[in-house]
Amino acid sequence: MEHASAKTIAAVALAAFAVYLGIYYWPTIERFIGLIASSLAPIVLGFVLAYPLNILMSFFERHLLPGSAHPAVQRLRPLASLIIAVAALAGIVAAVVVLVVPQLIDCIRLLVSEVPVALSALGAWLEEAGILTPETLDAAADSLAAFDWKAGVGDAAQLVMHGVVGAVSGIASGVATFALAFVFALFVLLGKHKLSGQFNLVLERYLPARALGRVRYVAGIADDCFHRFLVGQCTEAAILGVLCALGMVLLGLPHPMMIGALTAFMALVPIVGALLSGIIGAFLILMESPLQALVFLVFIIVLQQLEGDLIYPHVVGSSIQLPGIWVLAAVTVGGGAFGIAGMFVGVPLAAVVYRLIRNDVYARRSHAAGEGGAGRP
């Protein structure tokens, strides 16, 4: 008893000392964790990219010469399916860029050209309202004359230079990370069957049979929920983009293809994406006609109501078997914690938790009912 008590005291003391070291050396530990996280970022991102690519790749594997048992076909089918999947995804992204970017540049040029006119109108209004008077102009001129322009311009130039260097460095680092992650994802997909076998072998050797069954059960539900969510979300986004473009064409609104493609692309983010695309579309149309922008706002509100009540619950909600209130809660919590990525991942994660709890409740209720039935004469 005394020996057990001494071991407990030693364990508590060791844990307290470890906590003290963690608090005292936290800046160093934080830097070390950041270094490890940045080093693992391409690998983690590679696995993330590999999952949606695998959905496309598996689809083409099932439909690419499915009846052929020739060894060459069996050997080349994964590579050919991966190439077709990457080409299809690249084609979709290129189509969105071609549809959106040129018209977006035209809208920005129109906005810049309207700035002098807007400033002139603002000046005239300020003069009519009595805000812009000769006295205020003289005071403004005196303030400008007293300002140290040399120091101000130097500080501004230094600030801009630091910002440009930081932005270029961040963009270069992001591009390099994405490129490494994409290459890693390709290697993962090409060797997915071998990796899956190795992973299962490790689990079988190091986990008890009961724990192994639970891990496979949870992993199967997670894979099913994420797969259904991605397919349903892409389907819903395509439907919403097509309906938006068709409605704008029928109403005679400008930029139907661009705003439709933008709506489809941003609708990949649950609930919030369609709202943001509507705001951006209304702003772009506002540059040409305020009345048409108002018509577009009414149309997009009606379309989003239709999407929220009919399209999303039937296409996405029913596929992941998650009630609408939990979809909204998952988007809110995920977005607040992790931004756009949290909004996207929060829904399937909530679906996984919801299905696990639901299955457990049903199993317990069935077990209790069985025991009650067995106890009756």
Interval 146-198: pLDDT, tens: 666 667 677 777 787 877 887 888 888 888 888 999 999 999 998 888 888 89
pLDDT band, very low/low/confident/very high, at 104 (cuts 50, 70, 90): confident
Q: Give the model confidence (pLDDT) of 247-291 as tens digits.
A: 999 999 888 888 888 888 888 876 677 778 888 888 888 877 888
Q: Give the model confidence (pLDDT) of 217-253 as tens digits.
A: 999 999 998 888 888 888 888 888 899 999 999 999 8
Judge whether 221 and 352 are in contact, CB under 8 Å: yes
Q: In this structure, is residue 352 part of a structural domain?
A: yes
Q: In this structure, is residue 235 part of a structural domain?
A: yes
The number of domains in the chain is 1
Q: Is the pLDDT of residue 373 over 90?
A: no
**Predicted pLDDT of residue 313:** 66
Q: In this structure, is residue 22 part of a structural domain?
A: no
R_g (Cα) of the chain, nearest Å: 29
Of the chain, the end-to-end C-alpha distance in Å amounts to 49
Q: In this structure, is residue 291 part of a structural domain?
A: yes
pLDDT band, very low/low/confident/very high, at 107 (cuts 50, 70, 90): confident
d(CA 43, CA 67): 35
Tokens of 109: 């040029």
d(CA 375, CA 377): 7
Q: Give the model confidence (pLDDT) of 34-53 as tens digits.
A: 888 888 888 988 998 999 89
Report which residue type is found at 327: V
Q: In this structure, is residue 29 part of a structural domain?
A: no
Residue 247 or 134, more confident: 247
Q: In this structure, is residue 302 part of a structural domain?
A: yes
d(CA 167, CA 163): 6
**Predicted pLDDT of residue 278:** 85
310: containing domain: 221-365
Q: In this structure, is residue 371 part of a structural domain?
A: no
Q: Is the pLDDT of residue 304 over 70?
A: yes
Residues in contact with 351: Cβ distance below 8 Å, sequence separation at least 6, in sequence order: 225, 229, 320, 321, 322
Q: In this structure, is residue 372 part of a structural domain?
A: no
